[in-house]
Structure 1
């Protein structure tokens, strides 16, 4: 949900590095569930020379909401631009620690570990302590006899494991840190304060409103079927399936499904169907509310279509 105009007169950037006088001139950003966020900031400073290398990788907090709401990340990119009579232009990009994992590839074998345990080992390899990430899971995951990372980045490896098991992640921000939160259902997502719908943009700047909102339906499979072969039980019909009732019937079939019990097959089929249908019904809007954060529920209110006045999960901002 893009923000048309945030009704604030001041944004601020906090850095642990001393002796900086950066002022935020403008910023744009993107964040979504199960993706590393990216925020690009245009800054100005009275200093015509900065040690850019010393700032690269430093933690920073961009505050853009009056209640200390904002984005905490690491400086992933920094550049110096033109200098005027008094001010020099700089630009930085903030991304999470997790984004660094896309620059590291490996070839590893993991044995007798669950997917959450494998992810934890990869994160710890990059210095992410247990205090910087959480698993809020409602399902017990089986140990994998043999799991291989082969020539893929550590970030892609984690993304692949999450997709296979139906895990998702989002970030929680504070002025001093950002936390990576993994989940497998919607109970992990907190709820934001309700926002009213007002198509009349004259209210923009006086109170947070949703100014535009539209609903979209897309064609997606309504059934997922997967099969596998159990060499110790060759006569067993090893199958998993999941479906939802829809007027248009479309099936995705997968073999081998990567399981040896039908219960496990049903679980994987259900997660695959949920992944395929995550955008079957979606809404898109525009707001001046600065506190919209992906991975949070938002209640829409006072829309003329009363069926739309409900909780909506913010998947992308």
Structure 2
């Protein structure tokens, strides 16, 4: 029997196994800008050949197809899924699924806090575990004082940060790898030359071409309005507005954006949350708050651009399998839509006609169903990725520098460490403390101290906006009066700085126990009573005054 080989096959597969162990007969799959890719290969192996799952799953593999024109397209990824199907009298049949290394991020869920980092800085940290990325961002995003990943898998968090920063991603495939690319300027992407439009199917074309093409415009959001508040700029309207780009050039056509009867109002995705005039170490940062206004306008422009990014699409069919998502090309030969286009998505179908025996050749059929956007229409993630929500209250511990009993900023905020935070004890933002009263230079002021357990709520459930609403006793911090023996005692007891709680304190104690009713006021050092008018005292029983 002739030896079975992929030597002369236009569709080749390369895995960690020796070349020739697995032979590809079909490749199908999809890829999408700002999303992912998945390519499935139908494979053959000589019946009984040693094919170990452990040698393949999670390892890198690639496929390549050589078209009649000599153009080669590579498909590279990690083996995400491997299936052994039924065998025939000659061959064992397998399916192999390739996905990007980035997909591994979906297998890890965690909660963590980032401080003093831009969106790009955060993305670099997240992507480090999957080989990083080549990042080409022209509009540098602002530094975020505080950013929380809360109960999201790492892929969800990656996609959300990209969405908030107006960054999209795609891959550059080669025989040896798939390079993740991040950009906020899709018109500056790789260019793959000219492609012909010709409705004649099965003609004499050797070069790749499109034989079917249709253009669609849909109504879309045409304006965005942001509004937010910031307690350090209390009462000021922190707004940002932007309109979607219009008109859109699609070949020779000029398409006017149409849709919104009013602006898309967005509050939770504003940029005000990124800024704080107090650094994590407690120093004042002059001028930081003035950046909020530019940040709001920038965020509005990102959202307006993203909202329009899907408003114009061409859908084409051809044999142009060499086109990669995120790449651009110039269409020629179309009556009114010749021009530069960007590949937004592609569905690939490649099959080998016949089997490759040594010394023989076989044909390949390639089809690409492509989704395209005018190159000038910037692509960005839309709609905004949902932010995580904290469904209730959390507890945390108040933290501060070593040997500090209290660590508080000029706004009465403290720092906390959440129990889910596995990184370190300096990763909390400054957290506001709710009081029973809060007026202008008057009200209540009880500040949690280092080591206290506190109850934390979140404004509108937003993990980036925590508020301390109470304190809790625990096994380390017991109530000031033994329970249940003293269950009818209420009051307040403080602790002198550096003191012993059994000896050094101020106290206002009220006992409601029958027969032992008393109000007890204790001052650790001086007790001063002052009245600005008159004092009236009613003493129906004995009045004893000790001096000395």
The two structures have a TM-score, normalised by structure 1, of: 0.91
Counterpart among 91, 97, 100 of residue 95 in structure 2: 91
- Report whether the alignment pairs 1:290 with 2:321: yes
- The CA distance in 1 between the partners of 2:259 and 2:145, in whole Å, is 39
Contact 2:220 2:258 in 1 (8 A): no
Match of 1:278?
Answer: 309
Partners of 2:198 and 2:209 within 8 A in 1? yes
- Does residue 76 (structure 1) correspond to residue 80 (structure 2)? The answer is yes
Tell me the CA shift for residue 257 of structure 1: 4.2
Return the alpha-carbon distance in structure 1 between the equivalents of residues 33 and 119 of structure 2: 19
Q: 1:205 to 1:94 in 2, by over 3 A?
A: farther
Give the direction of change, closer, same or farther, for the CA distance of 1:20–1:209 in structure 2 (3 Å limit): closer
Number of aligned residue pairs: 304
Tell me the SS of whatever aligns to 1:18: coil
For residues 210-256 of structure 1, the C-alpha deviation after alignment (integer angstroms, 9 at most, x for no partner) is 00000001111110000111322224331111114645443200124
Higher relative contact order (CA 8 A, sep 6+): 1
Residue 69 (structure 1) shift = 2.2
- Listed one character per residue, the Cα deviations across residues 146-173 of structure 1 (whole Å, up to 9, x for unaligned) are 1111111100000000001100111011
Which structure: greater helix fraction? 1
Moved more, 54-63 or 186-195: 186-195
SS of 2:345's equivalent in the other structure is coil
Alpha-carbon deviation of 1:17? 3.0
- Extract unaligned runs of 5+ from structure 1: 1-7
Q: Give the whole-Å Cα distance in 1 for the aligned partners of 2:188 and 2:330.
A: 16
Q: Which of 258, 280, 283 is the aligned partner of 2:270?
A: 258
Q: How big is each residue's C-alpha offset from its partner over 1:36-73, in whole Å with a ceiling of 9 and x where there is no partner?
A: 21001101110424211221011111101344421111
**2:231 alignment partner, SS class:** coil
Q: Structure 1 residue 202: deviation in Å?
A: 2.6
Determine the C-alpha separation between the residues in 2 that align with 1:257 and 1:89: 49
For residues 59 and 141 of structure 2, the distance between their equivalents in structure 1, rounded to whole angstroms, comes to 36
Q: Which moved more, 1:182-191 or 1:69-78?
A: 182-191
Distance 1:294 1:230, change over 3 A: same
Q: Does structure 2 conserve the Cα–Cα contact (< 8 Å) formed by 1:220 and 1:280?
A: yes
- When residues 24 and 281 of structure 1 are mapped into structure 2, their CA distance, relative to the original with a 3 A threshold, is same
**CA RMSD for the aligned pairs?**
1.8
Matches within 5 A, 1:1-317: 10-18=10-18, 21-48=21-48, 49-65=50-66, 66-124=70-128, 126-128=129-131, 130=132, 133-203=133-203, 206-244=206-244, 246=257, 248-250=259-261, 251-260=263-272, 261-305=292-336, 308-317=337-346
Segment drifting more, 108-117 vs 195-204: 195-204
Shift of 1:304: 1.9
For 2:333 and 2:259, the matched residues in 1 are separated by 33
The alpha-carbon distance between structure 1 residues 47 and 289, as it changes in their structure 2 partners (threshold 3 A), is: same
Distance in 1 of aligned mates of 2:341 and 2:187:
13
User: Contact 1:115–1:143 (CA<8 Å) still a contact in 2?
Assistant: yes
Q: Distance in 1 between matches of 2:33 and 2:103?
A: 14
**1:275 shift after superposition:** 1.4
- Indicate how the Cα distance of structure 1 residues 231 and 10 shifts in structure 2: closer, same or farther if over 3 A, else same: same
Distance (Å, rounded) in 2 between the aligned partners of 1:19 and 1:199? 39
Question: Conserved in 1, the CA contact under 8 Å of 2:222 and 2:258?
Answer: no
Computing the radius of gyration from Cα coordinates, the structure with the larger value is 2
Normalization by structure 2: what TM-score? 0.53
Contact preservation (8 Å) 2:169, 2:182: yes
Distance in 2 (alpha carbons) for counterparts of 1:259 and 1:136: 22
Query: Larger deviation: 260-269 or 88-97?
Result: 260-269
2:15–2:56 Cα contact (<8 Å) kept: no
Distance 2:18 2:240 in 1: 58
Instruction: Determine the C-alpha separation between the residues in 2 that align with 1:120 and 1:247.
Output: 37
CA 1:67–1:230: 2 relative to 1, 3 Å:
same
